[in-house]
């Protein structure tokens, strides 16, 4: 049986059309940029998870929108991603989150920076489409994204 | 034997499946120690050295007996034992007292090592020394350089590293440099090996009780008797005076001079119980069990690809404690420790209060650390390895 992991993905967009990303090392891609979010913990709601993650950024969040649900299936793990978009917030961001650098990156530059393969697919859709996004992504045994199906 | 020992720690029955590999941060507490705290507060809670009624006499008596227990534990005399809140307070105190007592040149020359915990760096930097020499690590994470500057005023060093597990040959360093005052931080080693202050011929030695199965907020500072006599106190206040007048005061002598304010009485009494707990197992047995697990951990970590291990290779337990730090290339240590946390596996991620070591020697901002104590067993290590493999799968996406 695959390990099932419910996780949040949180895009925070400011009024300069930039999104907040965390810089991290990656096994295969060197340094990558990923949105905030992590495993939904025991007895935590997805909304509480979003609040917890946002707290570490120093921003005061006013409104959140659930914008997508993506199921990712790999050989050993199945992720259920709850993708949120936040555009209503106050305050300044802290420099880093648990040792990772936080950066505002312009949406027009998303193509140029190293994003994880799945994020490359759903990030532009979540950030531009007004509709709710629901999809299933499949990875091969080497964790390459090989198929995306949306509803 | 380990299950037998594990059963004596209530945290493991309250947290089924808990894998605790962070004893270098703080150790878990056996039931006898927890019971001692409760006993003090429920049966004879009162202040020490003050009241002339039976409760206070009992508290004072028990508190003073701890001095004897600790003295025996490290082969010192009871009047050489001072209670502090921990190693941090002790090192801060020693640095200030050495300075204020005129024992060292101003500005002093100080020798430390590359492995120091920040608590043994900042208090010395604060003296604005003329020079700080750092004894360096060799390629195998050992310190072989015993030659400190001839005119060093102070040699301050950890006894064993909270990152690499390296045991520093402090006896050799101390005996070859008799002019420098020696201050040894035995916080990491104290629960894992026999310490003998006379054999080491150390001037000051400190440790925090909470890494020794005792509560937080209690620590020990050993000061050689002939030094203590001449040394100024680093805290002033109630309980440490001989006489106070409007124009000036004289201080009590012996350890009392260094213990201004109400001490952490309950924790001190529980610390003696922690020492009795260690004695009931014996260091020979502790070393045997921890050494077996250290070697097993190293063998199993070898299964992980792209791992960099910061721990001496091919050494015995005489040269390294069962404290092993590492990084897996391409995954941030915080992410791994968070993933392991989900599985109820506790390891520490970060620079472990050793930025000089991480930045200048290991060349990484942070690392993961697994540290072993008497209650650990092979199963804990197998779960850690399984967890690391799981983390690699997750972060491959
Ligand atoms: C080697 C060493 N020295 C000193 C300390 C500081 O101990 P405390 O915070 O109990 O004063 C630690 C704690 O991690 C340590 O590992």
ipTM for this prediction: 0.78
Rounded Cα gap, residues B377 and B208, in angstroms: 24
Q: Which of B252, B304, B353, B364 is catalytic?
A: B353
Residues of A in contact with B386 (CB under 8 A): none
Domain with CATH 3.40.640.10 in chain B: 33-279
Instruction: Find out whether the beta carbon of B158 lies less than 6 Å from any atom of ligand 1.
Output: yes
Give the closest residue to B174 by CA, choosing from B187, B183, B162, B185: B183
pLDDT for res B257: 94
Architecture of domain B33-279: 3-Layer(aba) Sandwich (3.40)
User: What would the two tokens of residue A19 be?
Assistant: 């999104």
- Is the CB of A27 less than 8 angstroms away from the CB of B329? yes
Instruction: Find out whether the beta carbon of B86 lies less than 6 Å from any atom of ligand 1.
Output: yes
Q: Which atom of ligand 1 is nearest to the CA of B90?
A: 11
B335 → chain A, closest CA residue:
A98
Tell me: pLDDT of A99 over 90.
no
Q: Cα-flanking dihedrals φ and ψ of residue A132, to 5°? A: -75, 135
User: What would the two tokens of residue A143 be?
Assistant: 């964790």
Domain with CATH 3.90.1150.10 in chain B: 2-26+283-395
- Strand residues in B204-251 grouped as ranges (E): 204-208, 219-223, 241-245, 248-251
Rounded Cα gap, residues B26 and B22, in angstroms: 7
pLDDT band at A114 (very low <50, low <70, confident <90, very high): confident
A99 → chain B, closest CA residue:
B334
> Ligand 1: distance of its center to the CA of B164 in Å?
14
Q: Based on the number of CB atoms within 10 Å of its own CB, is B89 exposed (0-12), middle (13-18) or buried (19 or more)?
A: buried
Give the closest residue to B87 by CA, choosing from B59, B38, B123, B113: B123
Calculate the alpha carbon distances from B303 to B273, B298, B306, B323, B366 in Å. 40, 9, 10, 18, 21
- Tens digit of pLDDT at every position of chain B (397 positions): 567 899 999 999 999 999 999 999 999 999 999 999 999 999 999 999 877 899 999 999 999 999 999 999 999 999 999 999 999 999 999 999 999 999 999 999 999 999 999 999 999 999 999 999 999 999 999 998 888 777 899 999 999 999 999 999 999 999 888 889 999 999 999 999 999 999 999 999 999 999 999 999 999 999 999 999 999 999 999 888 889 999 999 998 899 999 999 999 999 999 999 999 999 999 999 999 999 999 999 999 999 999 999 999 999 999 999 999 999 998 989 999 999 999 999 999 999 999 999 999 999 889 999 999 999 999 999 999 999 999 998 888 8
Facing residues of B158 across strands?
B185
Using DSSP bridges, classify how beta strands B345-346 and B19-20 pair: parallel, antiparallel or unpaired: parallel
- Is the CB of B338 less than 8 angstroms away from the CB of A25? no
pLDDT for res B2: 62
Tens digit of each residue's pLDDT (9 = 90 or more) over A47-66: 999 999 999 898 999 999 99
Q: Based on the number of CB atoms within 10 Å of its own CB, is B257 exposed (0-12), middle (13-18) or buried (19 or more)?
A: buried
- Is the CB of A99 less than 8 angstroms away from the CB of B332? yes
- The angle that helices B265-281 and B283-301 make with each other, rounded to 10 degrees, is 80
Calculate the alpha carbon distances from B360 to B115, B134, B169, B357 in Å. 11, 11, 22, 6
pLDDT for res B140: 97
B142: Cβ contacts below 8 Å, ≥ 6 apart: B166, B312, B315, B319
CATH of A3-150, picked from 1.10.600.10, 3.40.1170.60, 3.30.420.10, 3.90.79.10, is 3.90.79.10
B149: Cβ contacts below 8 Å, ≥ 6 apart: B109, B111, B131, B133
Tell me: pLDDT of A37 over 80.
yes
Q: Is the dihedral of CA B28, B326, B121, B167 positive or negative?
A: positive
Q: Cα-flanking dihedrals φ and ψ of residue B266, to 5°? A: -60, -45
Asked if B346 is an active-site residue, the reply is no
pLDDT for res B1: 52
Calculate the alpha carbon distances from A141 to A4, A27, A73, B330, B393 in Å. 17, 15, 10, 19, 10
User: What would the two tokens of residue A94 be?
Assistant: 């802290």
Architecture of domain B2-26+283-395: Alpha-Beta Complex (3.90)
Q: Cα-flanking dihedrals φ and ψ of residue A141, to 5°? A: -65, -20
Q: Are B361 and B318 in contact (CB under 8 A)?
A: no
Rounded Cα gap, residues B280 and B285, in angstroms: 10
Calculate the alpha carbon distances from B41 to B38, B46, B264 in Å. 5, 8, 12
Using DSSP bridges, classify how beta strands B348-350 and B181-185 pair: parallel, antiparallel or unpaired: unpaired
Residue B343 sits at the chain A interface (C-beta within 8 Å): no
Q: What mean pLDDT is predicted for residues A119-147?
A: 95
Closest CB to A143 among B338, B342, B397: B397
Q: What DSSP letter does each residue of A17-68 carry, written as one string? A: SEEEEEEEEETTTEEEEE-B--BPPTT--HHHHHHHHHHTTT-EEEEEEEEE
Rounded Cα gap, residues B118 and B354, in angstroms: 6
- Is the CB of B396 less than 8 angstroms away from the CB of A38? no
Tell me: pLDDT of A136 over 90.
yes
């Amino acid at each position: 049986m695959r390990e099932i992991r419910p996780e949040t993905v949180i895009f925070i967009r400011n009024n300069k059309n930039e999104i907040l990303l965390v810089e991290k090392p990656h096994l295969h891609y060197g340094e990558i940029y990923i949105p905030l979010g992590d495993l939904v913990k025991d007895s935590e709601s997805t909304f509480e998870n979003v609040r917890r993650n946002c707290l570490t950024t120093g921003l005061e969040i006013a409104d959140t929108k659930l914008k997508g649900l993506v199921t990712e299936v790999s050989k050993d793990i199945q992720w259920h991603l709850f993708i949120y978009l936040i555009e209503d917030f106050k305050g300044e961001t802290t420099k880093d989150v648990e040792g990772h650098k936080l950066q505002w990156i312009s949406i027009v530059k998303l193509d140029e920076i190293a994003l994880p393969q799945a994020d490359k697919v759903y990030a532009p859709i979540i950030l531009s489409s007004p509709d709710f996004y629901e999809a299933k992504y499949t990875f091969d045994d080497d964790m390459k994204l090989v198929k995306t199906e949306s509803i | 034997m380990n299950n037998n020992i594990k059963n004596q720690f209530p945290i493991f029955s309250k947290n089924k499946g808990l894998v605790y590999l962070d004893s270098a941060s703080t150790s878990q507490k056996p039931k006898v120690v927890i019971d001692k705290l409760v006993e003090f507060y429920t049966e004879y809670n009162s202040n020490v050295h003050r009241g002339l009624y039976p409760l206070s006499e009992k508290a004072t008596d028990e508190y003073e007996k701890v001095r004897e227990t600790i003295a025996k534990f490290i082969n010192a005399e009871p009047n050489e034992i001072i209670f502090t809140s921990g190693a941090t307070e002790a090192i801060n105190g020693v640095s200030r007292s050495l300075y204020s007592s005129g024992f060292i040149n101003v500005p002093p020359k100080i020798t430390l090592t590359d492995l120091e915990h920040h608590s043994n760096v900042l208090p010395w930097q604060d003296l604005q020394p003329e020079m700080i020499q750092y004894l360096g690590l060799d390629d195998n994470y050992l310190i072989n350089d015993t030659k400190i500057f001839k005119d060093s005023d102070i040699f301050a060093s950890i006894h064993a590293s909270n990152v690499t597990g390296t045991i520093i040959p402090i006896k050799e360093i101390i005996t070859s440099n008799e002019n420098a005052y020696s201050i040894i931080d035995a916080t990491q080693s104290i629960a894992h090996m026999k310490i003998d202050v006379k054999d080491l011929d150390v001037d000051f030695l400190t440790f925090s009780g909470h890494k020794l199965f005792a509560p937080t907020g209690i620590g020990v500072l050993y000061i050689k008797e002939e030094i203590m006599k001449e040394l100024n106190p680093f805290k002033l206040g109630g309980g440490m005076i001989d006489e106070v007048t409007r124009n000036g005061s004289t201080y009590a002598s012996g350890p009392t001079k260094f213990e201004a304010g109400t001490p952490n009485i309950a924790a001190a009494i529980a610390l003696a119980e922690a020492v009795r707990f260690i004695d009931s197992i014996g260091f020979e047995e502790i070393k045997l069990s921890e050494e077996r697990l250290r070697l097993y951990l190293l063998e199993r970590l070898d299964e992980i690809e792209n791992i960099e291990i910061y721990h001496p290779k091919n050494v015995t337990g005489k040269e390294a404690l069962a404290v092993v730090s590492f990084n897996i290339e391409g995954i941030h240590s915080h992410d791994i420790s968070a993933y392991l946390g989900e599985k109820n596996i506790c390891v520490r991620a970060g620079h472990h209060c050793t930025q000089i070591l991480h930045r200048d020697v290991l060349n990484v901002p942070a690392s993961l650390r697994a540290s072993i104590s008497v209650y650990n067993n092979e199963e804990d290590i197998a779960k850690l390895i399984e967890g690391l493999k799981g983390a690699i799968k997750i972060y491959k996406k």
